[in-house]
A and B are shown apart, each in its own frame.
Chain A
Amino acid sequence: MSDSQFESIISQIISDTPSGEIKQVYEDLITIAGENSKETVLDAIEQYNIKNLIPIEVDGKSVVLSRYNREGSKFFDPASSISFNVDHLNREGFDIQPFQSTQLNQVQEDLLKNLQKYAEKNFPGYLTTSIYPIPEESNKIVLSIVSMKYNPSNFWNGHWRSEYIFDSNFNKLKGSIDVQVHYYEDGNVSFKSSETFDLDDITDVIKTIAVKEKEFEENLDTSFSQLNETQFKSLRRRLPITRSRVNWGKAIGTYRLGKDAAQGK
């Protein structure tokens, strides 16, 4: 197997991992592919963390990783004016240094406060919010909300992430919500849902996000019921149409006779 094939397989496996189980998957991969594969697996985890907006602990504070707060091999947090290196497996920042080159202005700071206020009321998980200015486009900022709940002792975890780009010149808001739930007691059940938005004429960014996310949540609740009532029910009945259990044994053939008679065969 070539190096690029190997990297591609590792990256496919890591990118399909629920966010609460990265460490176990890392251990499993090292057991299967050997210590030599460590670097490749860690590289894939770094890509994963950035793509999935994984929050890490820096000096007691939680910071979202994304491609918008990355500079070289380091990451930074404009809200607290620091930069740091990241241990991507353990989700920790280290080598913390002051960082001034990207900072939030007053408007952005106020927006972040409002985003936090909204998020605290609506996201009961382990919550991290962020606002990052986009370096080359001074009219654009990236807002994100990440809420996670990991419960390995009961074999489940859940992950919400939403990310929006707000363009203040044109009052446009573009974004997406991605949610994932994994339940793995006596099996492996995965729930996924996502939605993307492209909205114009935004007057209040946080309010718009709040409305869209509430709609998303309500639609999901409806979809759960609909999937149960329609798709699931049509795959297998709870009981036969006769409303009684099958009469096994020699006489089972009479069901077929009955059906043929009903169809006039």
Chain B
Amino acid sequence: MSTEQAYDAALDLLRRLDPRKLKEHVQNLIQLEPSLAEDLLSSVDTPLIVKRDPKASQREYLCCDYNRDIDSHRSPWSNEYFPELSAEDVQESPFPSKNLRQLEILANDSFDIYRDLYYEGGVSSVYLWELDDEELSDDFAGVVLFKNGDKTSNAWDSIHVLEAVREGTDVTYRITTTVILHLDNGKQMTLSGNLSRQTEKTLAVPPSSSTSVEQVHVAHITNLGTIIEDVESQMRTMLESVYFEKTRDIFHHTRNSTSGNEEMSSDVHQELMKGLQSL
């Protein structure tokens, strides 16, 4: 049996099983077929983990597979891995280049302000990495993360995985967004799950040869910020309609105490129409 078939079957399963137990089911599938581990852990979005950065006044940051090395996660604030890695390990650990780190700092600062405006709480983190080894290329990839929740089990996690590829004075941004939303009214009613969508947009960014590095960075963040703000607004509308309208509709396809009345009212409606037509 090919691993690819098993992987597709595993993804299909995770789309069907209770999303509240996503992490358990990823582990279950890995136990059934250990060769799935790497692919599943890197491609399945699970709720983000929050850690504190001891070198940035215990400020919180978000952790996922993209900022992980061994069992540690890189903080966007101090640019260090916690729990701290041995000097030997750190030499092997991934870090963005100096230039990309400058962009990462600006991104974290800007999305932190965005987070405050829209979420009025929670945590945000941005991680960037080089897309290829070519020194000259300024293409990059990254992930923009937001998490907000209350003390009960209500939580919103957004995960934007992005790629920025330059062609002349244009940069194409490809973003895959997943929002994981859990809601619980504390009275035996839960709404939980995730929705995803992909976005691609090409926007102008002046080449670094014609302008300062700082201006290029500002252009990237303006572009990414605008796209992500749009995507999150659309996703919020989509989540609202799926969670509160669609699922309620489906529920009423199984149980509807007013369906008898509706038939009656449609009869009334037809009679009314007949009455109007005969006028």
Q: Which residue of B lies closest to A28 (CB)?
A: B9
A158 touches B254 (CB 8 A): yes
In the assembled complex, A198 has its CB within 8 A of some CB on chain B: no
In the assembled complex, B16 has its CB within 8 A of some CB on chain A: yes
Which of A123, A231, A252 is close to B255, meaning CB atoms less than 8 Å apart?
A123
Q: When each residue 237-269 of chain B gets 1 if its CB lies under 8 Å from chain A and 0 otherwise, what string results?
A: 001101110111011111111011000000000
In the assembled complex, B113 has its CB within 8 A of some CB on chain A: yes
Residues on the B chain within 8 Å of A125, using CB? 253-255
Q: How many residues of A contact B (CB 8 A)?
A: 79
Which of B13, B109, B244, B247 is close to A28, meaning CB atoms less than 8 Å apart?
B13
Please report whether the interface of chain B is mostly helix, strand, loop or mixed according to DSSP.
helix
In the assembled complex, B279 has its CB within 8 A of some CB on chain A: no
In the assembled complex, B131 has its CB within 8 A of some CB on chain A: no
A158 touches B1 (CB 8 A): no
| Shortest beta-carbon distance from A126 to chain B in Å | 9
Contacting A at CB under 8 A, from B104-121, are 109-110, 113-114, 116-120
Q: When each residue 29-44 of chain A gets 1 if its CB lies under 8 Å from chain B and 0 otherwise, what string results?
A: 1011110000000000
In the assembled complex, B79 has its CB within 8 A of some CB on chain A: no
Residues on the B chain within 8 Å of A224, using CB? 244, 247-248
Residues on the B chain within 8 Å of A181, using CB? 247, 250-251
Q: When each residue 212-236 of chain A gets 1 if its CB lies under 8 Å from chain B and 0 otherwise, what string results?
A: 0110010011011111100110111
Residues on the B chain within 8 Å of A179, using CB? 251, 254-255
In the assembled complex, B136 has its CB within 8 A of some CB on chain A: no
The stretch among A5-13, A83-91, A93-101, A201-209 that forms the contact with chain B is A5-13
Which of A122, A236, A249, A253 is close to B118, meaning CB atoms less than 8 Å apart?
A236
B221 touches A124 (CB 8 A): no
B244 touches A189 (CB 8 A): no
Q: Which residue of A lies closest to B28 (CB)?
A: A9
Q: When each residue 179-194 of chain A gets 1 if its CB lies under 8 Å from chain B and 0 otherwise, what string results?
A: 1011110111111111
Instruction: Known A-B contacts: A191-B190, A231-B184, A255-B117. Give 13 more (CB < 8 A).
Output: A12-B24, A13-B25, A16-B17, A28-B12, A181-B251, A188-B19, A189-B246, A190-B192, A214-B257, A217-B255, A223-B189, A248-B221, A259-B116
6 contacts between A and B (CB under 8 A): A125-B253, A125-B254, A156-B250, A189-B242, A232-B243, A239-B118
